[in-house]
A = this chain, B = another copy of it.
Amino acid sequence: MTNRFFRAAVAFAAMALVSAASAADNADPLPSWNDGPTKQAVESFVQKVTDKDGPDFVPPADRIAVFDNDGTLWVEQPAYVQLIFALDRVKELAPEHPEWKEKQPFKAAIEGDMKTLAASGEKGIAELIMASHAGMTPSAFQKIVGDWLAATKDKRFQRKYTELVYQPMLELLAYLRDNGFTTYIVSGGGIEFVRNFSEPVYGIPPAQVVGSSIKTKYEVVDGEPTVMRLPEMNFVDDKTGKPIGITQHIGQRPIAAFGNSDGDFEMLEWTTAGDGARFGLIVHHTDAEREYAYDRDSHVGRLDKALDAAVENGWIVVDMKDDWKQIFPSVD
């Protein structure tokens, strides 16, 4: 192939792809969102930052969008999925730990005594997480998580947790990526826990997951170089931890942030305070019938301070009941 033909072929290929893309544009990229101001706000932000001749244009390299996971991309009620996993795992490991029968919070976890468990507070929960999440490599841990997610169903919906993700948010992730955004998860949950399913479920590869973590140690075990998970907290990616985690992992301030609780407040605050076009969105759980309704008084995913701040800062509040046509993906 001559160099001249080479260039012509590339030019033609590019043209053909552009035409194809315009054809695709005619389809609604957000079919599960009801028409109205919320959907309009999303679309107008995306149009604005991708308009090469407009004053709010943002180059693709700076189109960073960050998403909380629990309650923003998938269900977090009646308890965080990872906590349900930790409790199941403690029960499974209990035969190897006879001492747990008399030791809190393990006793409560084994007996399913949620009241005593709740009373053990964050410290108790952390102890359960450590005991059930450490002592293996990250890939061995992901295998355990994957097997559990494949085998476990939510009691109310009788669906796997990976099928309790929000269809409108899946469409939003794809819509942003189709418009040159890079999408990240920034979760208070465990980074390796979320990495297990982020790619197949959300189209987000492991390197684009930011989350809480335990420490790891590098060592050669029986001649095998190994990264081993230790029962010690490394980083809590919640509240003020979110801007810090983003700084560390991504190294850029995002231009769009999506959350649903006070744990996302600082991420939204920092993201939307930057120069140029910015976008903040909060998923407000208002649909007790199709999902759950909760905000200021909820222990899981409390939304209080961030709901007040939304008005002040111009963050878009999704009214799940009114704004979403469909909550979960259709399952064949």
Q: Are A1 and B16 in contact (CB under 8 A)?
A: no
Q: Are A243 and B225 in contact (CB under 8 A)?
A: yes
Chain A 16-27 interface mask (CB, 8 Å, partner B; 1/0): 110110111000
Task: Give min CB distance, A183 to chain B, whole Å.
Answer: 12
Q: Are B1 and A22 in contact (CB under 8 A)?
A: yes
Residues of B within 8 A of A243 (CB): 218, 225, 227
Task: Give min CB distance, A306 to chain B, whole Å.
Answer: 14
Does A270 sit within 8 A of B, measured CB to CB? yes
Task: Give min CB distance, A145 to chain B, whole Å.
Answer: 13
Most buried by B among A12, A207, A241, A250: A207
Within 8 A of B (CB), among A223-281: 224-225, 227, 234, 240-241, 243-244, 247-253, 266, 269-270, 273
Residue in B closest to A26 when the chains form the complex, CB atoms? B1
Q: Are B252 and A207 in contact (CB under 8 A)?
A: yes
Residues of B within 8 A of A206 (CB): 250-252
Does A69 sit within 8 A of B, measured CB to CB? no
Does A10 sit within 8 A of B, measured CB to CB? yes
- Alpha-carbon gap, A217 to B251, bound state (A): 15
Given contacts A13-B17, A249-B207, A216 and B191 within 8 Å (CB-CB) = no
Q: Are B23 and A1 in contact (CB under 8 A)?
A: yes
Does A133 sit within 8 A of B, measured CB to CB? no
Does A195 sit within 8 A of B, measured CB to CB? yes
Residues of B within 8 A of A24 (CB): 6
Q: Are A227 and B247 in contact (CB under 8 A)?
A: yes
Q: Are A218 and B192 in contact (CB under 8 A)?
A: no
- Alpha-carbon gap, A225 to B257, bound state (A): 15
The listed residue (B16, B182, B199, B249) touching A9 by CB distance below 8 A is B16
Q: Are B195 and A251 in contact (CB under 8 A)?
A: yes
Does A138 sit within 8 A of B, measured CB to CB? yes
Residues of B within 8 A of A165 (CB): none
The listed residue (B224, B248, B269) touching A191 by CB distance below 8 A is B248
Residues of B within 8 A of A217 (CB): 240, 244
Task: Give min CB distance, A112 to chain B, whole Å.
Answer: 32
Task: Give min CB distance, A289 to chain B, whole Å.
Answer: 36
Residues of B within 8 A of A224 (CB): 273
Does A82 sit within 8 A of B, measured CB to CB? no
Given contacts A138-B247, A244-B227, A218 and B266 within 8 Å (CB-CB) = yes
- Alpha-carbon gap, A6 to B195, bound state (A): 34
Task: Give min CB distance, A64 to chain B, whole Å.
Answer: 8
- Alpha-carbon gap, A5 to B251, bound state (A): 42
- Alpha-carbon gap, A247 to B241, bound state (A): 19
Does A186 sit within 8 A of B, measured CB to CB? no
Does A213 sit within 8 A of B, measured CB to CB? yes
Residues of B within 8 A of A6 (CB): 20, 23-24
Q: A139-B253, A207-B250 are in contact. List 5 more A-B contacts (CB 8 A).
A: A1-B19, A10-B17, A192-B251, A213-B248, A227-B247
Does A61 sit within 8 A of B, measured CB to CB? yes
Does A73 sit within 8 A of B, measured CB to CB? no
